[in-house]
Structure 1
């Protein structure tokens, strides 16, 4: 136990890691986040101090668990909840266009996790609560917009079968999108907590309590967490989960965003941490427009100690597995990538679907975690057919992405910068080349990206720049729930590429 004053920085998980959920097993804490169209699904992290988190794997790492091969951007896996009970870990979530609500189990949180166990009712964001008498409750969102509400029912945890009919237990505070509910039993009372207001400026976390798990619930008249009336640099707070540590201290993890110019963020919704204070009247409080949650936090103690994770560094592709921080865009085809075809290199073979299409794109990346950063790689590629291309990409979705690539167009090999904004792609710049070996780099600053290439890795030539805003979820028409992922890609535009592209390393510097 550490009892001296502690200072830590928010977010505890920078970059696109939204909808956090947390559980504790002894002195160990585990946290999961939404993954949407990226595979493997549901990244899982471990910590002993709640501040420093190390990814230990993914919960959904095979096709039998998660099939998102034709998943739209910002669809796929929504809002997982993780719980630990009697030696078993449970992760429950929604595959919004696939199998619906389901849970998986594991005795080791690093995996393997079971195949999905389906549950019968609910819209999105299901949660599990294991009561003291052995009853297992599913608490989940139902309905849409202002009709959103929370239903609850009991299940047989071995099979997922419903033991009771679902009933409405919570209708929120009158705002739209009552979602992300969690039920807790604390000091003899049942607390129901949910998000409300949508995931933008009016996002907030609300809470109610009752002597019964089915209510009726007395609602706290104001949010337990929001920055909707402040100019705090952290906005859109909500979608929280509570945890009690081994010292009896309470904490909350929740999503928020760090806006640029008070307008947008390419990083997406990130995971934050704050202490929970219990008032004399029995209500917990995090931050109701009081600026309690900040980029720098001071607390009297944390439950343990954990190593500081390394957000920057180089992946040399010397191992036979990818680093956990790297992710595919949807389930990849087996033939699209390899770490063994050329030892020490990542091989990517372009598929028929490209970055502007929905399908199994040859793309492997990692989340952008800093507004100021750079990514680079050494590429060896010899395109021989028009349309073949490989390089570096900054991706929000199929309608918004920037690339620096080696490709063939009109029978000519070129180094090109491609900018896709609002679904329209144009060639920002290109230069002819005979090179088959090329260094590529994307540099991000607060409001723009710059695309570079080099023939020797020493002298860098800027090929194009582009504004950051079009790659922000705030620029998306409709729902944009992710952040930018920077990655390596290959494409053949309508067919499988005749030759693969080889990447020697992938470097990320913040």
Structure 2
């Protein structure tokens, strides 16, 4: 497998440029253990969930695994639920273990833990049941031996938002010791709304809650402090857009380097690209409050953290699928079933043509293998061979969101294979042709999507006579909380007998 370097975060002398992760790593949180930094992010309804990224310099990150193999309950996530599942996790290291807490807005607060970042991770444990409980963060207070938990509320499930609830927590992280207390009510703070995403810390004798407000596209980062966990808290805005082009700079985590430098990683909402990750310098003013970025405004370029040099790196995107296995960058759109991808002795991803009654709407299908849309102009390319002899079997490369479009191969009733290009608007219930079908005499094609500015996608295919464009430009769209995705799939009409497979080889993403 080769590693594609995401644009952004490239070295420039002794500086870095934002975003350091130029793709949808939503709601990031970070922790340092020794000389290593680890980051996790929301994964919503995709599987595996809770991505785990590693860095030694806070600028260059690699994806090293996931903490959640499957979503539970299994039957609930047997079909796509793109805006449900894992919301805004927090990652911590305590008692020689890694801990990740997150909120499922329909079930409650969960945690998993492991002795090392690569696992083995425990199965999800429900710490607090309830609808609308989101964005939890634990704190083990080394000064007192007490443990605490803070969380926010989703109005869509609970009818409540803009407030934070605090609990005492059992030190083993399995349960809460009280019914909870409202510790920050942002309805009482003039101009504040949609307070969420709290991260809880202990510093300089204070309890600190770093929490965003104002909404993902236009909001700001707030800081709250109190001498007592249950309050009262005083607040201050510590990061906002000001005169920069970084809209809604907020929701993330604070981390301190071994030499004592402070840094803050947060997201920026970029529509179809999702929530990209920025790195901000952080210091403390004379009154003991954090100051993020350039006096509270996000930086575009800044001096690198004073950390050891690291080989430039980024989460993998390219894949040769050795032995039929796919890389860590890929996630299914729901809990997978055995047999969707078949291991074998050669290279190439062999996807079973899964029979389904929803063959004309990729948004409803659990067996779409996806990865994040790159944040700068890029081209995604893959080679496809349709091995299925089943009439109506199809496979292809897709851009998937509230609207979707795909290009690929389909076998006709007469046994011939055609290149097809289809799409569906956000309000459409089924796809329709975006370009005229054309023969693919060998049942093979090279597929290409060129992703330009504004995530405008141009589809091309080569069936033996070079790349030719197909159909109009398609504007990628996000789902409710999720950026657009690139996807690979293989399908067949509803039925009982096996429908064969399709083989994908040499998946590549290149900068344009």
Using the size of structure 2 for normalisation, the TM-score is 0.88
Structure 1 counterpart SS, 2:43:
coil
Q: Which residue of 2 aligns with 1:270?
A: 276
CA–CA separation in structure 1 for the residues paired with 2:32 and 2:306: 14
CA–CA separation in structure 1 for the residues paired with 2:79 and 2:371: 20
CA–CA separation in structure 1 for the residues paired with 2:329 and 2:317: 11
Deviation per residue, 1:287-346 (Å, 9 max, x gap) = 48854421x2224x4233322125676411114642111221111111211232x63121
| Alignment coverage as a number of residue pairs | 482
Conservation of the 8 A alpha-carbon contact between 1:349 and 1:362 = no
CA–CA separation in structure 2 for the residues paired with 1:80 and 1:354: 33
Kindly state the Cα deviation for residue 360 of structure 1 after the two structures are TM-superposed: 4.9
Structure 2 counterpart SS, 1:387:
coil
Conservation of the 8 A alpha-carbon contact between 2:108 and 2:129 = no
Alignment of 1:354-393 (within 5 A): 354=359, 356=361, 360-393=365-398
Kindly state the Cα deviation for residue 137 of structure 1 after the two structures are TM-superposed: 0.7
Q: Which residue of 1 aligns with 2:486?
A: 486
Structure 2 counterpart SS, 1:266:
helix
2:176 is aligned with 1:162: yes
Alignment of 1:456-467 (within 5 A): 456=464, 459-467=466-474
Structure 2 counterpart SS, 1:219:
strand
Alignment of 1:410-429 (within 5 A): 411=414, 413-424=417-428, 425-429=431-435
Q: Which residue of 2 aligns with 1:138?
A: 149
Deviation per residue, 1:360-391 (Å, 9 max, x gap) = 53222221123311111111114444432101
Q: Which residue of 2 aligns with 1:31?
A: 39
Kindly state the Cα deviation for residue 121 of structure 1 after the two structures are TM-superposed: 5.3
Q: Which residue of 2 aligns with 1:200?
A: 217
Q: Which residue of 1 aligns with 2:408?
A: 405
Aligned mate of 1:152, from 166, 190, 197: 166
CA–CA separation in structure 2 for the residues paired with 1:360 and 1:484: 15
Alignment of 1:74-153 (within 5 A): 74-97=83-106, 99-120=107-128, 123-132=133-142, 133-142=144-153, 144=155, 147-153=161-167
Q: Which residue of 2 aligns with 1:430?
A: 436
Conservation of the 8 A alpha-carbon contact between 1:117 and 1:159 = no
Q: Which residue of 2 aligns with 1:348?
A: 351
CA–CA separation in structure 2 for the residues paired with 1:384 and 1:93: 44
2:32 is aligned with 1:48: no
Q: Which residue of 2 aligns with 1:262?
A: none
Q: Which residue of 1 aligns with 2:206?
A: 189
Q: Structure 1 142/484 Cα, relative in aligned 2: closer, same or farther at 3 Å? A: closer
2:230 is aligned with 1:214: yes
CA–CA separation in structure 2 for the residues paired with 1:240 and 1:288: 17
Structure 2 counterpart SS, 1:124:
strand
Using the size of structure 1 for normalisation, the TM-score is 0.88
CA–CA separation in structure 1 for the residues paired with 2:280 and 2:507: 34
Q: Structure 1 314/420 Cα, relative in aligned 2: closer, same or farther at 3 Å? A: same
CA–CA separation in structure 1 for the residues paired with 2:351 and 2:492: 11
Q: Structure 1 355/485 Cα, relative in aligned 2: closer, same or farther at 3 Å? A: farther
CA–CA separation in structure 1 for the residues paired with 2:316 and 2:110: 35
CA–CA separation in structure 2 for the residues paired with 1:472 and 1:359: 16
Kindly state the Cα deviation for residue 95 of structure 1 after the two structures are TM-superposed: 2.5
CA–CA separation in structure 1 for the residues paired with 2:168 and 2:325: 40
Q: Which residue of 2 aligns with 1:233?
A: 245
Conservation of the 8 A alpha-carbon contact between 1:52 and 1:306 = yes
The 10-residue stretch of structure 1 (183-192 or 312-321) with the greater mean CA deviation from structure 2: 312-321
Kindly state the Cα deviation for residue 266 of structure 1 after the two structures are TM-superposed: 2.1
2:256 is aligned with 1:244: yes
Aligned mate of 1:224, from 238, 245, 249: 238
Kindly state the Cα deviation for residue 34 of structure 1 after the two structures are TM-superposed: 0.6
CA–CA separation in structure 2 for the residues paired with 1:84 and 1:283: 24
